[in-house]
Amino acid sequence: MLELLAPAGSMEAVIAAVQNGADTVYMAERLTALGSHEHEFDRDAMAQSIRYCRMRGCKTAVSISALCTDGDIDRALELAQFAARAGTDALIVRDVGLTDLLHRALPDMPLWGDVRLGVTSLEGAVAASALGLSRVALAPELTMEQIASIAKSSPIETAVYVHGPVCVAHSGQCYMGALAHEHNSDNCMRCTEPCRGRFSLGGRMDEHPLSMADVYLMDHLEALETMGVTAAVIEGRSRKPEYVAYATKLYSHAIREKVLPTEEEKHDLLYAFSATGLSDGYYTGEAGPGMFAPAPEADRTPSRFFSDIRKNYMSGELRRVPVKFYVVMKPGQPALFAAEDGRGNHAAFKGYEPIDLGRQGVSGDRVREILYRTGGTPFNCTGVNCAIEPNLDYPDEAIEEARRELLNQIADKAREHRAVTEGTLPPKPEDRQPEGPPKLIIQVTRPEQITPELAAMDPDYLYVPAEILAAGGGATAPFLERGTQIVAALPRVISEAESPVLRELLAALRARGIGQALINNLGLLPSVRQAGMELRGDLGLNVANSWTLKFLSRGGFRSVTASGELTARQIGALIKSADTEMVVYGRLPVMVTEHCIIRNSAARCSCATPTSMSDAFGSVYPVEKEFGCRNTVYDARKTFLADHPETYTGVGLWGLRLLFTTESPRECVQITARYKGRNDYLPINASRGAYQKGAL
C-alpha cells in the first residue's frame, strides 16, 4: 500500500494530518540562517509534534532541505541531532555535503532525498542511492511511463508528489527569486514565487504564463502502487491546516478504501484550496497550456466549510492504532489483563480477584463489549482473547479501569523511541590552493560565438553545448591549435526517456576526442563515467559549502563551480579541496523548465528564434531552447565583476568563467578582453548578481 506523506507547517496542521489518515507527517524547523518561514516549527513544537505522532502510529520526517553554506552546516547538524533524539523516523535532505556528514553524525538515521535533487531518470535514482539515501522524491515533471521505469528498477524507495503546488521550473534549478527578486532563494526555502506574476511574451502581456496548476494525481494512485512507488506526497507545508486535513482525508480514503472523491468533494478541493486549478498533465504526458489555466471564481464562500473541517479534526480522535486485548480470569487469582499493538508494544495489568458466584457470572461477550469501547482514544480494538472460567463475577467498572490502564501503558511506550546512535564527524577538508593564476574559461551557448577572434584571447578552456560539438563542433579548430581544452556542456535536464539519446551523444563526443563533460545533475554521472569522460561540475549542482566540494572531489570531479547564490566573500572563504570555478560574467540561468514557454503562449514553437519575456517591471529575460524542447530562462541583467577584480582574484579560485548567452561574437571578444585587462568595456544593464548580497 502507498505510504501517504502529509505536510505540516504548525502543530495544528500536524493534528489535521494525523486525524485524517497520514502515514507520515513531514515538517521543518524555524532556522533564520536556513530560511525562516512562518510555517516552520520551533524546537519545543517539533518535539511535541513527534511525540503526538508516535503515540498515534504515525511516522515523522524532518526536512533539512535548504542548501547549507559553511556557516549553516553546524546549525543543520544540530537540528538533525535534535530531531533524531526527539524520535523522528527520517530526515529529508538535498545538500550533498550535509548528507555526507549526516551519515557520519547519525549512521542509523534514514535519509530521504528531497525533490530538489532533481531525479528525472533511473541513473538519478542510482546516484541518490550512492549518496546513501534510502528514498528519493522523483521530479514532478515525469510521465507515468518514466515513473514506472524508474520505480521498477530503482535501488531505493521512490516517492511521487501527488497533490499540491508545483513550480514551472525544475526543482532545484530555479534562481529567479535569488537573482531577480530581493535575493529570496528557493534553495533556502524563501521563495516569494515571482514566477506567478504577470509576464509579457511576444509583445503582449499574458495573464500568468508561468503560474502552474496544482498537481492532482488522485485518479492514478492504484497505478503508482502497481508501478512499485513507495510513497505518495502531498505538497503544501505553507498552506492552512484545513487544506492539510481535507487533502489528506481524500487521498487516505483513495489509497486505503480505493474510494475516489465525489464530484462535490473534488469541487470543494478545487474551489476552496487551489488558486490555479488542478492538473495531471505531466503524468499523462499532456504537458502544455492546459497546465497553466487558473481555477474559475469560487461559487460559494468557504468559511463555513473551513469551520466544519477544523471541527472534525480538533474535536475527536481517529482510531488508527490496532490493539488486541487478552483476559485471564481464574478463581482464587487476580484477574490478568494484557494488550499489544501492532508495533511491538505490550502492556499488562493485574486486577481484582474475581468472585466465585457458584452460578453464571461475567461472560466473555460482556468483557469483549467493554474492551472494544476505545472511542476517544487513538486505539482501535481488533480482537479480544478471553480465558474466563465459569461462575466468576467481575464488575464492568473494573474492566473499564483495566482497559484505561492498558491503553495508557501502550501510549507511554509508543512515545518512547530507540536510542540514537551518534557517530564522529570527519576532520575539516584540507585546502588545496591552485598553482598559478586562475584559468580563463569561456562558455558559449551558440555556434556563431565560436570565432577565431575569441580563440585569439587564449582561453584555457572552452565549454560548448554537447549538441553543437556533436553536430560538427563549430569552429573549435583555432582554439585547439592554441592549446585550449574543449569541454562538452551537457544538458541541464535528462529524462528517463532521453537517457539512451544522451549515451549516444556521449559516444559521439568521445569519438571526436572530447574527453571532459560539464554536468549540472548527479544523475548524469553513470553515463559520463561509462563514456570514459572526466567530470566538471556546473552551477546546477548547487555547491554552497566546503563539505560538498570535498565530496565531489572524492567523486572524481576535476573542477566544481561555486553556487551563483553565494556572495563573493563566501566563495572566497570556501575550503577548496577541489578546483573551484566562479562565473564572473554572464547572464546566469534563473530557471530551466520542462515547458516551451513561447509555444504555450503563442500555440507555436519558435525555438530557433531568439525570444524573451518581460515582467511587470520591464525586466527582459532571454528565453533559450534547452535540450528536449525545454526552455532555459536567463537573468535580465548580466553579472559583471571586471571593475572589481578583488572580488575574485587572490581567493583560491582555480578558474574564472565567462558565460556568453545572448552576446554577439564581437561582444564576446570585448568582454573577454576586458577581463584580461585590455580595455575598459562596460556591458549594458550589468549587475553584481547575488555575489554582493547573497541569497543563501
**Mean predicted confidence (pLDDT) in 164-191:** 81
Check pLDDT > 60 for residue 420. Answer: yes
Residues 27 and 59: their CA atoms lie apart, in Å, by: 11
Check pLDDT > 50 for residue 35. Answer: no
Residue 7, in any domain of the structure:
yes
The bridge status of strand 199-201 relative to strand 611-615 is antiparallel
Tell me the CB-side half-sphere exposure of residue 136, using CA atoms within 13 A.
Answer: 29
User: CA–CA distance from 520 to each of 109, 173, 429, 506 (Å)?
Assistant: 28, 9, 23, 15
Residue 192, in any domain of the structure:
no
Residue 76, in any domain of the structure:
yes
Residues 530 and 370: their CA atoms lie apart, in Å, by: 66
Are 303 and 325 in a shared domain? no
Q: Are 440 and 659 in contact (CB under 8 A)?
A: no
Check pLDDT > 90 for residue 453. Answer: yes
Instruction: Render 362-392 in DSSP notation, one character per residue.
Output: --HHHHHHHHT--TTSSEEEEEEEEEE-TTE
Check pLDDT > 60 for residue 409. Answer: yes
How much is the pTM?
Answer: 0.94
**Domains of the chain: total:** 3
In 3-state terms the chain splits into helix, strand, coil percentages (rounded to 5) of 35, 25, 40
Are 266 and 338 in a shared domain? no
Check pLDDT > 80 for residue 33. Answer: no
Q: Give the DSSP H or E segment for 453.
A: helix 452-455
Are 529 and 508 in a shared domain? yes
Model confidence pLDDT, tens digit, residues 62-80? 999 989 999 999 999 999 9
3-state DSSP call for residue 286? coil
Given 283, 314, 345, the domain boundary residue is 314
Residue 604, in any domain of the structure:
no
Check pLDDT > 50 for residue 36. Answer: no
Percent of the chain with pLDDT over 70: 94
Are 262 and 382 in a shared domain? no
Q: Which amino acid is at 79?
A: L
Check pLDDT > 90 for residue 633. Answer: yes
Check pLDDT > 50 for residue 32. Answer: no
Given 266, 296, 314, the domain boundary residue is 314
Of 410 and 685, more confident: 410
Strands (E), 49-106: 59-64, 90-93
**Mean predicted confidence (pLDDT) in 364-373:** 95
Residue 240, in any domain of the structure:
yes
| Predicted pLDDT of residue 303 | 76
Residue 403, in any domain of the structure:
yes
| Predicted pLDDT of residue 192 | 77
| Predicted pLDDT of residue 471 | 87
Are 28 and 88 in a shared domain? yes
Check pLDDT > 70 for residue 306. Answer: yes
What residues does 465 pair with on adjacent strands?
489
| Predicted pLDDT of residue 520 | 96
The bridge status of strand 620-626 relative to strand 534-537 is unpaired
Are 394 and 446 in a shared domain? no
**Mean predicted confidence (pLDDT) in 571-585:** 96
Are 388 and 473 in a shared domain? no
Of 584 and 497, more confident: 584
Strands (E), 406-511: 439-443, 461-465, 485-489
Are 310 and 249 in a shared domain? yes
Residue 421, in any domain of the structure:
no
| Predicted pLDDT of residue 228 | 97
User: CA–CA distance from 680 to each of 287, 439, 456, 671, 672 (Å)?
Assistant: 47, 21, 18, 9, 11
| Predicted pLDDT of residue 300 | 53
> Which backbone phi and psi does 572 adopt, to 5 degrees?
-65, -30
| Predicted pLDDT of residue 238 | 82
Given 415, 431, 454, the domain boundary residue is 415
Q: How many CB atoms lie within 10 A of CB 52?
A: 18
| Predicted pLDDT of residue 224 | 98
Are 569 and 652 in a shared domain? yes
Burial class of residue 18, CB neighbours in 10 A (0-12, 13-18, 19+): buried
3-state DSSP call for residue 312? helix
Model confidence pLDDT, tens digit, residues 457-487? 999 999 999 999 998 866 899 999 999 999 9
Model confidence pLDDT, tens digit, residues 186-214? 887 777 788 888 888 765 556 788 889 99
Check pLDDT > 60 for residue 320. Answer: yes
Q: What is the 3-state secondary structure (H, E, C) of 656-681?
A: EEEECCCCCHHHHHHHHHHHCCCCCC
C-alpha cell at position 95: 545538500
Residue 555, in any domain of the structure:
yes
Residues 671 and 471: their CA atoms lie apart, in Å, by: 27
Check pLDDT > 70 for residue 302. Answer: no
- b/e map of 543-567 (b: 16 or more CB within 10 Å)? bbbbbbbbbbbebebbbbbbbbbbb
| Predicted pLDDT of residue 289 | 82
User: CA–CA distance from 601 to each of 3, 203, 278, 590, 624 (Å)?
Assistant: 38, 11, 19, 19, 15
Model confidence pLDDT, tens digit, residues 387-398? 999 999 999 999
Please report which confidence band the pLDDT of residue 335 belongs to, taking 50, 70 and 90 as the band edges. very high
CATH of residue 493: 3.20.20.70
Are 301 and 344 in a shared domain? no
Check pLDDT > 80 for residue 38. Answer: no
Residue 152 belongs to domain spanning = 3-166+212-314
Are 300 and 332 in a shared domain? no
Are 242 and 138 in a shared domain? yes
**Mean predicted confidence (pLDDT) in 339-368:** 91
